Amino acid sequence: MDADANRRKDWLRVLFVNRMACLERGGGETFDLEISRHLPNDQVRVSFLCGAPLFSAPPLPLPGAQHLRTPWLRRFPWDKVKGGWRVRRLEFEWFEWRAARWVAKHQNDYDIIQVCELPNLVYWLKKFGVKVPIVMRLTAPNLYDPRGGAKAADALIASGTTIEKLKNEHYEGVSGLDVTDIPNAVDPELFRPQPSDFRKRNGVGVDEFVVLYVARFQAFKNHAMLVEAFRLIRERYPSARLVLVGSGPLRERIQQQAERAGIAGKVLFLGEVPFNELPAVYAAADLKVVTSDYESFCFAAIEAMSAGLPVLTTDCGWVPRLVADGAGLVSPVGDAPSFSCAMERLARDSGLRKRLGTAARERVLDRHTWRPSAEKLMSVYQRILTPVG
């Protein structure tokens, strides 16, 4: 047997199960895709199992990923329609059931199964007698887990406000969970201050003050408040420009709001932007904003901080902690006039923007790079693979 074969035999084979990784990219998808890339490639072989639309190719192809086709109502505004969460949950449960059957059939091909949320999948895997250790990542504290999948997992990992809430509070019959903190991170070589031709390509003037929001168009992201705040700042600072990155069921509604407000010509809707093109967007902006009602972490905030941007955020959970001590400013949740005044303050004070942006990047370099997080995850793998006694 040659040396390469011996090395392959010693690889740790990890399957990441993430339904949305090939459909839409949010925080859970960013974590899985990025940390899998930063696990030691001489020790770990990573595979992905993802969802796909019933009748079309996945919009975000991932080379080598296995796909399971299940219903995906992309434009259904589940967070604005009464009872819409039931439709959303049914979508995920359909995928969880199919994924459990697939993993049970292929379990001998893997040493670790890492699941992004999907507590019902963990439950079914244990029900089917799958012996491969399961790591479950919790992306938000509002866990809905009627079958007790979280307690059945061999290890739980999370970050941000999710850690303290799941350790200390009670959700759907789950409380006092033992959760390991694996911090979210960013690649500072990818997201960094750098030249960008984004403005030239998109007709944005060099003297315009560019406000950037990277977020799915969902209710809790509160694009509606941002559009109103932007309308207000345009009255006092006409050179302001708003750039929105992301997709989601409420995009059309926000576009209509911008048209009614008479600012549609100054709001650029980019839709989904490929991950490797995002750094150029950040590099062209003057300010990153977060207008959410709540955030358990917020990847877009640390991406912007790594790019040297100041962050203006609502008091929405974890993001104010990220920008504390001179890396950004905080405004009340849902208060468009206050948010607009804070934007204007930053627009008129380039020195303040520079100080905040410099501090933001330093904080990322100190606390939010991938290598330490990948090392912590490897420690979790080793712990659950080591026999007790």
> For 321-332, what is each residue's pLDDT tens digit?
999 989 999 999
Rounded to an integer, the average pLDDT of 58-62 is 91
* In the predicted structure, residue 313 carries a pLDDT above the cut 80: yes
CATH T-level assignment (fold) for domain 198-367: Rossmann fold (3.40.50)
Counting beta carbons within 10 angstroms of the beta carbon of residue 170, is it exposed (0 to 12), middle (13 to 18) or buried (19 or more)? exposed
* In the predicted structure, residue 88 carries a pLDDT above the cut 90: no
Tokens 């009602």 locate to 293
> Which is more confidently placed, 305 or 8?
305
Which parts of 53-137 are beta strand (E)?
A: 66-69, 112-116, 134-137
* Average pLDDT over the chain, rounded to an integer: 92
Q: Where in the chain is the domain with CATH 3.40.50.2000?
A: 3-185+369-385, 198-367
Q: Are 335 and 65 in contact (CB under 8 A)?
A: no
List pLDDT tens digits, range 32-41.
Answer: 999 999 999 8
Phi, psi of 323 (to 5 degrees): -100, 10
Portion of the chain with pLDDT greater than 90, in percent: 79
* In the predicted structure, residue 168 carries a pLDDT above the cut 80: no
* In the predicted structure, residue 144 carries a pLDDT above the cut 90: no
* In the predicted structure, residue 265 carries a pLDDT above the cut 70: yes
Q: What is the pLDDT of residue 170?
A: 54
Return the structure tokens found at 252.
Answer: 């059309």
Of 72, 61, 31, 110, residue with least CA distance to 249: 72
Return the structure tokens found at 144.
Answer: 């809905």
* In the predicted structure, residue 176 carries a pLDDT above the cut 80: no
Of 49, 33, 322, residue with least CA distance to 187: 33
Interatomic CA distance for residues 10 and 26, integer angstroms: 33
Element containing residue 339 per DSSP (H, E): helix 336-348
Portion of the chain with pLDDT greater than 70, in percent: 95
Specify which of 52-66, 85-99, 168-182, 184-198 reaches the highest per-range mean pLDDT.
184-198
Q: What is the pLDDT of residue 256?
A: 97
Domain 3-185+369-385: CATH class, spelled out: alpha beta
> Which is more confidently placed, 116 or 80?
116
> Which is more confidently placed, 328 or 176?
328
Expressed in percent and rounded to 5, the helix, strand and coil fractions of the chain are 45, 20, 40
pTM (two decimals): 0.89
Beta partners for 15?
47, 113
List pLDDT tens digits, range 199-231.
Answer: 999 999 999 999 999 999 999 999 999 999 999
Return the structure tokens found at 204.
Answer: 């944005």
Tokens 């759907």 locate to 172
Interatomic CA distance for residues 241 and 268, integer angstroms: 8
* In the predicted structure, residue 162 carries a pLDDT above the cut 90: no
